[in-house]
Chains A and B, each alone.
Chain A
Amino acid sequence: MSFLANIFARRQQSSSVAKDRLQILLAHERSTGSDTGESDLIRQLHKEIMEVIARHVAVDQDKVQIKVDRGSGCSMLEIDVEVPQELSGKRVSSS
C-alpha cells in the first residue's frame, strides 16, 4: 500500500506546491505591503470588535484568538472570543 501511496503522492510535485504558495502569499503582500497594510487592518478590526464586545461583557484579552487564512480568492479572518460562563449567563438573565 505504501508503494501505491508513494506513486500517488508524487503526482503533486514540490516545485508546483512552492509556486502556488508563493503566488498566493505575494498577491497579498503586494496589495497590502507586508509591514503596514494588512497587519494594521487586522489590528484595527481586532480593536474595534473587542470594543463592541467589551461594552456588553468583560472579556479576558488572553482568551481571544485571532487567525487569518489567506487564500487565492479570499481571506478568512477568524476572531474567537471566549465569553466567561457566569457573565454570559448574567447577560442572558438581565436581557
Chain B
Amino acid sequence: MAKVLVVTSGKGGVGKTTSTAALGAALAQSGQNVVVVDFDVGLRNLDLVMGAERRVVFDLINVVQGDARLSQALIRDKRCETLSILPASQTRDKDALTSEGVARVMDELREKFDWVICDSPAGIERGAQLAMYHADMAVIVTNPEVSSVRDSDRIIGLLDSKTQKAERGEKVDKHLLLTRYDPARAARKEMLSVEDVLEILSIPLLGIVPESEDVLKSSNVGAPVTLAAPSSLPARAYFEAARRLNGEKLDVSVPTEKRGFFDWLFKRDA
C-alpha cells in the first residue's frame, strides 16, 4: 500500500526541497520504490537539487493534461535505481494543474511506488493545497525561528481542513522536521530550542537536522545529502527520520560532532 507524503512548510527557504530529496533518497536506499514529485510549478528546483535538470523532457503538467504518459515523464535517478523524480513545469503557471488531473496522476503513482513524496511550493495557496490534498502523511519543515514556526502552525491548520483525509473525517499523520538547527545557539538561548518548537506546534518530532555546510555542498553538485555525504550529520538525521517514517521507534537526538563515534553507534543500535 503506497504512502503519499507531502513535504510542506508555508514559509519558503526552510528546506522543503532539500528535505524531499534527502528523505526520498534515504527511503529509496532502504530498497523501497520512491518517487519525488515537484509541485512547485513555475519555480521548479527539485530536478536541480537531485541533479536531473538536464534530463527533463516531460513534466507533471504534461502528464496532468494528457500530453505525455507518466512513464515518459518519470526520471530514474542514476545513483539509486529505486528512486525516481517527476519534475514540475518551469514555464507554465499553477493554474495549469487541475484537481482531477492531479488526482489521476496520484492514483497512477500510488500503483507504481511504495512512497510518493510531494514537494510543496511555499505559501498556502492553490499550489500548496494541491500538493497536500492527497497526502496520507505530512512532514512539516520548520526552522527554529518565529516566522517559520508561525507559518508551520498555519499549514498544520490547512492539513487538518483542506485535505482529502480531512474531508473524510480522517487525520493526516503530521510530523515535524526541524532543520537548520544550531544546538550551540539553542543552548545559549539565542535560538528557539527543540522543546520550545514542540511545545508550540504540538506535533510529533520526526527529526532534527543541524545547520551544516554539507547541505549546500550536496546541492552544489546536484545530489541529495543522503547520497552525496551519507555519513555527514544532516544525512544521518535524514536517515533516522526515514526510518521513523517507516514506523521504527527511535529516540530523536541532535546529531553533534562532539559525540564520539561509539556514542553514535550505540545510539543507532538502541
The chain A residues found within 8 Å of chain B, CB to CB, are 13-16, 18-19, 21-23, 25-26, 29-30, 33-34
- The verdict on B186 contacting chain A, using a C-beta distance below 8 Å, is yes
- Produce 1/0 per residue, B87-102, CB < 8 A to A: 0000000000000000
| A34 and B154 within 8 A (CB) | yes
The chain B residues found within 8 Å of chain A, CB to CB, are 145-146, 149-150, 153-154, 157, 186, 189-193, 196, 199-200
| A30 and B192 within 8 A (CB) | no
Contact partners of A13 in chain B: CB under 8 A: 189-190
Give the distance in Å from the alpha carbon of A18 to the alpha carbon of B153 in the complex.
15
What 8 pairs between A and B have smallest CB-CB spacing? A13-B189, A15-B189, A19-B196, A18-B146, A26-B153, A15-B192, A22-B200, A18-B192
Chain A residue nearest to B146 in the complex (CB): A18
Assuming the contacts A21-B146, A22-B146, A22-B200, asked whether A15 and B191 have C-beta atoms less than 8 A apart, the reply is yes
Contact partners of B193 in chain A: CB under 8 A: 15
| B192 and A19 within 8 A (CB) | yes
Assuming the contacts A21-B146, A22-B200, asked whether A30 and B190 have C-beta atoms less than 8 A apart, the reply is no
Give the distance in Å from the alpha carbon of A46 to the alpha carbon of B196 in the complex.
36
Give the distance in Å from the alpha carbon of A21 to the alpha carbon of B157 in the complex.
19
| B150 and A30 within 8 A (CB) | no
- Shortest Cβ gap from A60 to chain B (Å): 36
| B190 and A29 within 8 A (CB) | no
Contact partners of B157 in chain A: CB under 8 A: 30, 33
- Shortest Cβ gap from B220 to chain A (Å): 31
| A23 and B190 within 8 A (CB) | no
Partner of B190 from the list A15, A21, A33, A34 (CB cut-off 8 Å) is A15
Complex A-B: 26 CB contacts under 8 Å: A13-B189, A13-B190, A14-B190, A15-B186, A15-B189, A15-B190, A15-B191, A15-B192, A16-B189, A18-B145, A18-B146, A18-B196, A19-B196, A19-B199, A21-B146, A22-B149, A22-B150, A22-B200, A25-B150, A26-B153, A26-B200, A29-B150, A29-B154, A30-B153, A33-B157, A34-B154
| Given A14-B189, A29-B150, 10 more pairs with CB closer than 8 A | A15-B189, A15-B192, A15-B193, A16-B189, A18-B192, A19-B196, A22-B146, A22-B149, A29-B153, A34-B154
Contact partners of B190 in chain A: CB under 8 A: 13-15
Contact partners of B153 in chain A: CB under 8 A: 26, 29-30
| A26 and B150 within 8 A (CB) | yes
Contact partners of A14 in chain B: CB under 8 A: 189-190
| A15 and B196 within 8 A (CB) | yes
Give the distance in Å from the alpha carbon of A18 to the alpha carbon of B191 in the complex.
8
